[in-house]
Structures are given as C-alpha cells and as structure tokens.
Amino acid sequence: MELLEKLCRASGISGFENEVQEIMKKEFSKSCDDVEVDNFGNVIARKGKGKKKIMLAAHSDEIGLMVKHISKEGFLNFVKIGGIDDRILMQQRVIIKTKKGDVTGIIGAKPPHLQKEEEKKKVMKHDELFIDIGAKDSDEAKDMVAVGDPILLEPNFGKLNNNLYFGKAIDNRLGCYALIKIMRQVKVKDATIYAVATAQEEVGLKGARVSAFKIDPDYAIAIDTTIAGDTPYIKENESSLKLGEGPAITITEASGRGVVTHPKIREILVKTAVEKKIPYQVDVLEGGMTDGAIIYITRAGVPTGVVSIPTRYIHGPSSVFCLDDLNNSIKLVVCALPGF
C-alpha cells in the first residue's frame, strides 16, 4: 500500500500536479519504453511498437482551493478549484503550498453562538469562510503565503475495517495507481499502449483533450472513481453500486452528455469479466463525467469505455474504497486489452 498512500498524500490540485507527475514518471519508467511530460502537464508513457494504438487515461489532479486575497488582519480568502460542496469546508485543516514550503491553516467562520437564527439555517458559502494561518496581520501573512498559492485539504490515508481504505484524493489517485500496475502487467502484441496521467480533469477534462489529440488512439479506456450508493439516505435508483462488488463498467455518463460507451468496448469488458470470473457492476450516471467524455469525441471519434472504482464521499477530504475493487479493476483492464 506504500505506493498508493504516497499517491494519495501527494499534492496535485488542477494545474499544480507536479508532485504526482514526478511519482508517475518514476513508476512508469520501470516498465515502459519511454515516458514524457507534455506541454500541458500530462504524463504520457508508451509500451510496445504495434500499429494499433490504445490509450489508457486516469487524471492526476484533485479538487482543492487557491488563495484569492489576504486581509489586513492576516486571514486568507479563497476560491474553489474543482467541484467542492461548501458544507465540507468549515473547520477543515488545509495545507497551503508556497514557494517557501508548506503552511498549515484552518478554515474558519463565524461561530454558531454568534449566528442569528436565519444564519444557522443556511449553508455557509465558501466566500463567507476564511483560512486562519496564525498570522497577526497582513504583513506577516504575506511573508508566509501569496495570492495564487494552491491549497490542499489535509493529506490522510488509512484503513477502516475489512478491506476498506480511506484517503485524500482517492478521486483519482486510484486510477493513477491502476495505470502503473496495468503497465507493469500488460502484454499485448501488435499494439502500442499509451498510459496517460492527465492534468486538469477536475476543471474541464482538459488534459485528456490535448493528449488524446496528440496520440490519436484507435481505442481508449478511462479509469476513474464513481459514486457508491451503499450508504444511508442514497436510494438504489440513485446509485446501486456497492463497495466490494467489483469495478463499474460505465454505459453512459451525465445522462448521455458524457461518454456513451462504444458497444464493442462494452462487449469486450463484460465478456472479459465473465470469462475471468471478475465481479463487475454496471454504471449509468445522471451526473458527472470522466476523461472518457472528451477522448471519445477527439478528432474523428475514438471508441471509448470507462472502468471505475466505486467510492464513498467523493470530492470530500476523506473518501472510502474497497481494495478488492481496485485490484479487480486492474485485472479487468489487463485481461481485456488483448481483445481490442
């Protein structure tokens, strides 16, 4: 679990994926023929020399915050980078990544004791919150941090019960980990496999767009996380996916606005799962998209599928997943690739 923990604890909000890039470069270099970081920040690894090109993608960035303003009292105002529910922010510990090093902060707000009744009934928006870094005034704060510094939710990683684990940036460091393991194991003749740790997925699927255009693959699979529905107050018709019951094979995302999985890719993934006795689930998403949504409409179109790991509390400070689902996702993709 050391590699996975390292990936989850690494810093990498959208546009600032440097720490994750370095890990991916190092790990890809152990099993791939060559590795490069393109102009956009995508880490692209290649294995094989066949004419047919297959692209595997997992985004390396995570949701986070950024310093927007430093008040005269030394508190920080911030903006959100990626989709974050304001309700998770209050009193979270954060790490500001500065040129001088890491600075710890706590997200503060007006305490409930001083709130009016109408204030207590509403969700505090992020622009009503602030970050306390312990500075006495703006001069001291500006010596510690700068406007534009990226902010992480406090890194964490650990085990719950049975085979369930939790951590920061599970979305989508699980996919990054899977890419590394897949490239170590895959053996495909007459094809070239590209593994891409894409940048800036959380702010518009941007890295997948430019890397898919460059590679121009014949087929593609995006590996990501998806919403598990096995917690209280989620109805089965909202999400029937459960931890421990296998990777999810996506049929469509965002009610068809995202990827609509190519029938051939869907058939290969399902057939492989059945033949290899790999447990799997089927995912039909009303909301949310993956890199697959952009890859499959690149150039003249790319037959694309998505394999996802069911995850609880996505886009929160600590998400939960089952290690069996992660390992079975890796196995499914490795076994399916020769069928492309």
* pLDDT tens digits, 295-312: 999 999 999 999 999 999
Count how many residues are written for the chain: 340
DSSP state of 139: H
Q: Which two tokens stand for residue 42?
A: 């995508």
Kindly report, residue by residue over 169-226, the tens digit of the pLDDT.
999 999 999 999 999 999 888 899 999 999 999 999 999 999 999 999 999 999 999 9
- Fold topology of 2-62+168-339: Aminopeptidase (3.40.630)
Q: Which two tokens stand for residue 318?
A: 């600590």
DSSP, collapsed to helix, strand or coil, labels residue 27 as: helix
Return the domain boundaries, the chain: 2-62+168-339, 65-153
| Structure confidence at residue 189 (pLDDT) | 84
Q: Are 259 and 290 contacting, i.e. CB atoms less than 8 angstroms apart?
A: yes
| Whole-number Å distance between alpha carbons of 80 and 127 | 9
The CATH number of 65-153 is 2.40.30.40
Q: In the predicted model, is pLDDT for residue 167 greater than 80?
A: yes
Contacts 24+ apart (CB under 8 A), 135-142: 135/74, 135/75, 136/74, 137/72, 137/73, 137/74, 138/70, 138/71, 138/72, 138/73, 138/74, 140/74, 141/70, 141/71, 141/74, 141/75, 141/76, 142/70
Name residues whose C-beta falls within 8 Å of residue 101's C-beta, 6 or more positions apart in sequence: none
Q: Are 63 and 83 contacting, i.e. CB atoms less than 8 angstroms apart?
A: yes
Kindly report, residue by residue over 78-133, the tens digit of the pLDDT.
999 999 999 999 999 999 999 999 999 999 987 776 667 776 678 789 989 999 99
| Whole-number Å distance between alpha carbons of 258 and 286 | 9
Neighbouring C-beta atoms of residue 9, cutoff 10 Å: 17
| Structure confidence at residue 74 (pLDDT) | 97
Q: Is the Cα dihedral 78, 79, 81, 85 positive or negative?
A: positive
Q: In the predicted model, is pLDDT for residue 42 greater than 70?
A: yes
Question: Is 201 a catalytic site residue?
Answer: yes
Kindly report, residue by residue over 211-265, the tens digit of the pLDDT.
999 999 999 999 999 999 999 999 998 899 999 999 999 999 998 999 999 999 9
Name residues whose C-beta falls within 8 Å of residue 41's C-beta, 6 or more positions apart in sequence: 15, 17, 21, 199, 200, 207
pLDDT band at residue 266 under the 50/70/90 scheme: very high
Q: In the predicted model, is pLDDT for residue 327 greater than 70?
A: yes
| Structure confidence at residue 170 (pLDDT) | 97
Distances (CA, A) of 156 to 18, 171, 271, 318: 19, 13, 37, 7
DSSP, collapsed to helix, strand or coil, labels residue 108 as: strand
Crossing angle for the helix pair 18-28 and 2-9, to the nearest 10 degrees:
150
| Structure confidence at residue 117 (pLDDT) | 72
| Structure confidence at residue 188 (pLDDT) | 81
Q: How many Cα atoms occupy the beta-carbon half-sphere of 248 within 13 Å?
A: 26
| Structure confidence at residue 206 (pLDDT) | 97
| Structure confidence at residue 111 (pLDDT) | 74
Average pLDDT over residues 164-170: 97
Catalytic residue of the set 27, 62, 201, 253 = 201
| Whole-number Å distance between alpha carbons of 45 and 60 | 14
Q: Which two tokens stand for residue 207?
A: 């890295």
